[in-house]
């Protein structure tokens, strides 16, 4: 946590001194976005594997619950991936066009 605060502080002060204030923040964002996407994908895969095992080994009631969990997980994958891509697109758009 302290490392993150130090990185944010460095990005802030570097942004004040540099000509483009988004350069340091973009590097920091790209690093954290990649790590977040990697961890989120790992968690989603783990949940899907566990749901698949429950679905194949369970009875009628467990199969219904496993199907619901798989559907929720797939929706979560779409939201996380889409959200990260939207933020990256928005950052690139603002850097290219400015805030006119």
pLDDT of residue 13: 61
pLDDT of residue 20: 65
Token code pair at residue 15: 């942004």
pLDDT of residue 100: 56
| Of 20 and 58, more confident | 58
pLDDT of residue 99: 64
Share of the chain above pLDDT 90, in %: 0
How far apart are the C-alpha atoms of 68 and 85, rounded to whole Å?
Answer: 26
> Predicted confidence band at 90 (pLDDT cuts at 50, 70, 90)?
confident
Q: What is the pTM of this model?
A: 0.50
pLDDT of residue 26: 72
């Amino acid at each position: 946590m302290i490392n993150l605060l130090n990185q944010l502080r460095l990005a802030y002060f570097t942004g004040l001194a540099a000509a483009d204030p988004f350069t340091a923040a973009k590097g920091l964002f790209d690093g954290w976005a990649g790590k977040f996407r990697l961890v989120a994908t790992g968690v989603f895969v783990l949940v899907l594997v566990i749901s698949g095992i429950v679905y194949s080994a369970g009875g009628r009631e467990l199969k219904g619950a496993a199907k619901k969990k798989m559907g929720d997980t797939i929706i979560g994958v779409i939201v996380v991936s889409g959200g990260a891509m939207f933020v990256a697109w928005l950052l690139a758009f603002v850097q290219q066009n400015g805030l006119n």
